[in-house]
Amino acid sequence: MPVHAEAAVLAPLSGGPTAIDLKERVRSTASDRFMPYLLGAAAIFSGLIVTLLVFFVVQKAWPVFHAEGLRFITAGGWDTQLEDAWNGSAFFGVRALIAGSAFSTLGALLVSFVLGLGCAIFLAELAPAWLRRPFETIVQLLAGIPSVVFGLVGLMVVVTFIADHMVPGNSGDVVTEIPIGGACLLAAIVVLTFMILPFFVTVATDSLRAVPRSYVDGGLALGMTRWRTIMRIQLPTAAPGLIAGLVLAAARGIGEAIAISMVAGAIAFMPNFAHGPLYMLLEPIRSMASAIVENGGEAMDVPSIAAALFGLATLLLAFSITLSMIARWAFGLFSRRMGVVSDRNL
């Protein structure tokens, strides 16, 4: 300590750095040279994890794709094949699972688009100032509810309601293949709608708010009503942002496993158009993601089943990567349209 004090006193006279200064500087240049590499390694490692993920999942799925090729996607009959696989058979077709994922996700997207757009317009434009914060909190609450809780409430409320009030007494005459008991595509759509809605609402609200005020003012100055400026100016301008929100919501919907496995009946049944729209909604489904959690336990010890489940994971991975690419494209379109060159560098 005395040495440092001395140096500090002497230093101004010599005009050079003090001892403390020197020591600090030497130490910090060392870490200054070293830290960027360490931090950069962390960043690059995090960015490349997804390639590891693709590698391992595809590698494990390889046997089933190698043996079956496209028939893995186009053939049906998952449930019986699963039974047979325990006895050594090794052919799987996941068409019904893809249909289950597609129907439940598209249905939920449609409903949550209509409902969510209403919420987003309300949040961005119509809500009085005092109501905005509470409503935003509620949307965030909804986003935070775990999927297993959605599944439990859906099972006890939605499925029970459908079984008690919507399934016709003579349903056995129309649908002969399986019993109809309330756990169905409709229940999956209802539950999924409220699971993906908050993600769409958040993105859609931000997009609507990002539309420059001058656009709206121009419309109002021309005598348009407030509602017409929303419909004719804000929505079309924010459209790419809305699409991005919808795509993100779709990605969540297609990957949802637990809630759908609880409310949709867990039977790989191909929704049958011949039964009419009501029965189609009341028939059970099984989605790709829910098939993985339902069969991912002991059945993983059977190599052929494990490969088939990894095949499903590969399909899910392909869907989610594609959707995230579309979302990135839509976001890019939106920010170019809003005149933001790159908000990251500002």
Interface with other proteins, residue 232, by CB under 8 A? no
Q: Which residue, 134, 122, 284, 148, is CA-closest to 204?
A: 122
Number of residues that bind other proteins (CB under 8 A): 101
> Among 85, 96, 189, 257, which residue sits at the site for other proteins (rule: CB under 8 A)?
257
The first and second tokens of residue 248, run together, are 């993100």
- Per CB under 8 A, contacts with other proteins among 316-335 are 316-317, 320-321, 323-324, 327-328
- Per CB under 8 A, contacts with other proteins among 46-75 are 46-53, 56-57, 59-60
What is the DSSP secondary structure assignment for residue 15, as one 8-state letter? T
- What b/e readout covers 274-306, taking b as 16+ CB neighbours within 10 angstroms? ebeeebbbbbbbbbbbbbbebbeeebeebebbb
* Helix or strand holding residue 327 (H, E): helix 303-337
> Among 19, 67, 106, 115, which residue sits at the site for other proteins (rule: CB under 8 A)?
115
> Among 114, 217, 332, 340, which residue sits at the site for other proteins (rule: CB under 8 A)?
114
Nearer to other proteins, 71 or 228 (CB): 228
Minimum CB separation of residue 251 from other proteins in Å reads 5
Interface with other proteins, residue 269, by CB under 8 A? no
Minimum CB separation of residue 15 from other proteins in Å reads 15
Q: Which residue, 153, 152, 151, 187, is CA-closest to 167?
A: 187
Interface with other proteins, residue 254, by CB under 8 A? yes
**Residue 201 near residue 116, CB atoms below 8 Å:** yes
Cα distance from N-terminal residue to C-terminal residue, the chain: 45
Nearer to other proteins, 34 or 272 (CB): 34
Interface with other proteins, residue 245, by CB under 8 A? no
Interface with other proteins, residue 227, by CB under 8 A? yes
Nearer to other proteins, 96 or 124 (CB): 124
Distance between CA 316 and CA 233 in Å, rounded?
A: 36
- Per CB under 8 A, contacts with other proteins among 291-310 are 292-293, 296-297, 300-301, 309-310
Strand, helix or coil for residue 169? coil
- What b/e readout covers 119-142, taking b as 16+ CB neighbours within 10 angstroms? bbbebbbebeeeeeeeeeeebeee
Interface with other proteins, residue 228, by CB under 8 A? yes
